[in-house]
Amino acid sequence: MTNTIADVTRESDVILLVGSNPEEAHPVFGMQIRQALQRGAKLIVVDPRNIGLSKQAAVHLKLKPGTNVAFANGMMHVILEEGLEDRSFIESRTEGFEALRDLVKDYTPERVAEICHIDPEDLRTAARLYAKADRAPILYCLGVTEHSSGTEGVMSLSNLAMLVGKLGRPGCGVNPIRGQNNVQGACDMGASPTDFPGYQKVTNPEVRAKFEQAWGVSLPAEPGMFATDCFPAMLEGTIRGLFIFGEDPMRTDPDTNHVRRALSALDFLVVDELFLTETAKLADVVLPGISYAEKEGTFTNTERRVQRVRKAVPSPGNAKPDTWIFTELMNRMGYPQPHLTPAQIMEEISSLTPSYGGISHARLDSEELHGQGLQWPCPSPEHPGTPILHVGQFSRGRGLFAPYAYVPSMELPDESYPFLLMTGRILYHYNACAMTDKTPEIVEIAGGSFLELNDQDAARLGIADGDTIRVSSRRGTIETTARVSGKTSPGECWMPFHYLEGNCNWLTNAALDRIARAPEYKVCAIQITKA
């Protein structure tokens, strides 16, 4: 997030919420948005479904899934057409404006309405409301990123914010609501094949030399492989062994048949886990990991806030921290490493990662911070942290407009598979249900898979609410329960991805984002019949 949660919910006049249902996926954040509306802020919801917050929205753009780029370009067209851009900000802090202007001139509200299946006047209203507001943040989540054009969608929203000068100021910014605990921290620590910790590029020789000196090894000059690209490599035999921890791709990755074939093709699979997950059942070795409550260290949340985590209970049996397991593996494979404490690991992070340079366990534990944590960039021990990014200038100097044309999703409905399927979260469960489906009270409330089906489509198919239905794609078939309503538009359906039985990922498409290589969970073509 460029700004803080408190900032975007307490200081904003208008909130532009795109591809996110925080009341279900991030309920505390969702509550804070409701409080902002009670305070007088206005809300623009951009979502293919009638979510809870859309009832309180000044405008709800119920756009066709996969059309976020067209929507953003249409917003910018209206802003430029009506002279609502921040000319001073554009001239003083950005570059590449001419290319953006030339691209979006073709995205008239009428054309965008055809692409997105929305009312052109609603698009104009939303553009005016956002552009004219003094303080208006953009909030987005997986409904933007989990597309084959996900990166283009994020960049288009960034273009939109720059066009009206809503970056580097309170109550503004471009703010991803990160989907999982510590996903921000994992990215910060180099969980990407292109980056060392702190988004320092593997291809930069100076950066590489720094890490080589610190770690005493030669490091490759080329980026590694994205996780989603590993599965085809397993089938090709390029990858023969795999170590998985904190992940259950048999439940969470698209095209489950493809995942099963890839994992089964390995010579050796190791899984470090808390439970015997569907993925762990395929492993040659399962190592007992530990939970968050048994760990010392830090998490970094969605607003870049580094917070201490303290061990609350002892680990059962032979369960070990991930750091202990990694260190022992290195030692036993001929790369001697000491067992460092979490505080010592943070010291190493601070010494090699400029944005974390002023962060230590001692400082996080101090009375000065009172458990508040620190937001990076925090380059020195005296630095107070950075609540708002891009104040005064961008990290590259001037912000670069990166215009993208709308490109349709990789798989769209046709005669054989006439419905479009989206997937997402519900309030009661979290991701692969590793913990939530072990709570009987939650299972009693929300214990089974379902598909939201538009009432017009249901009537045509002879399907009633609560009927068992068969859902198929080009990749698999499942049975689930029909939930008939007007939440989705005709021809569009939605499923949660949590459940083992009736798991929608047997259906989803493993088409990947062209840049970030994230799967297109939000769009695939299906057929529906009464079981």
How confident is the model over 75-114, as pLDDT tens digits? Answer: 999 999 999 999 999 999 999 999 999 999 999 999 999 9
Domain of residue 453: give its range.
419-530
512 in the same domain as 426: yes
Dump the DSSP string for 122-167. HHHHHHHHHHH-SS--EEE-HHHHSSTTHHHHHHHHHHHHHHTT-S
155 in the same domain as 58: yes
Q: What phi and psi, each to the nearest 5 degrees, are found at residue 419?
A: -110, 150
328 in the same domain as 218: yes
User: How much is the pLDDT for 438?
Assistant: 85
The pair of three-digit structure tokens given for residue 76, joined into one six-digit string = 């910018």
CATH number, residue 65: 3.40.228.10
Q: What is the pTM (predicted TM-score) of this model?
A: 0.94
Within a domain: 355: yes
Distances (CA, A) of 328 to 215, 242, 280, 335, 339: 16, 17, 21, 9, 8
133 in the same domain as 58: yes
78 in the same domain as 157: yes
Domain end call among 288, 312, 335: 288
The overall average pLDDT reported for the chain is: 95
Within a domain: 242: yes
Within a domain: 390: no
Within a domain: 391: no
Q: Which residues pair with 95 in a beta bridge?
A: 400
473 in the same domain as 521: yes
298 in the same domain as 267: no
Q: Read off the pLDDT of each residue in 424-437 and give the average, rounded to a whole number.
A: 85
CATH number, residue 358: 3.40.50.740
Domain end call among 251, 273, 288: 288
136 in the same domain as 260: no
Domain end call among 177, 201, 236: 177
495 confidence band (pLDDT: 50, 70, 90)? very high
User: How much is the pLDDT for 433?
Assistant: 82
190 in the same domain as 126: no
The type of residue at 28 is: V
444 in the same domain as 303: no
C-alpha span between 244 and 235 (Å, rounded): 17
CATH number, residue 429: 2.40.40.20
For the ranges 179-188, 295-304, 338-347, 350-359, the lowest mean pLDDT is seen at 179-188
Q: What phi and psi, each to the nearest 5 degrees, are found at residue 36?
A: -65, -40
User: How much is the pLDDT for 111?
Assistant: 98
C-alpha span between 194 and 206 (Å, rounded): 15
Predicted confidence (pLDDT) at residue 50 exceeds the cutoff of 90: yes
Predicted confidence (pLDDT) at residue 333 exceeds the cutoff of 90: yes
35 confidence band (pLDDT: 50, 70, 90)? very high
C-alpha span between 47 and 15 (Å, rounded): 14
Alpha carbon of residue 468 to chain centroid: 31
Considering only CA atoms, give the Rg of the chain. 24
Predicted confidence (pLDDT) at residue 179 exceeds the cutoff of 80: no
Contacts of 439 (CB under 8 A, 6+ apart): none
170 in the same domain as 91: yes
For the ranges 17-26, 151-160, 410-419, 508-517, the lowest mean pLDDT is seen at 508-517
Structural domain count, the chain: 4
Predicted confidence (pLDDT) at residue 181 exceeds the cutoff of 80: no
The pair of three-digit structure tokens given for residue 125, joined into one six-digit string = 């209203």
360 in the same domain as 471: no
How confident is the model over 208-255, as pLDDT tens digits? Answer: 999 999 999 999 999 999 999 999 999 999 999 999 998 899 999 999
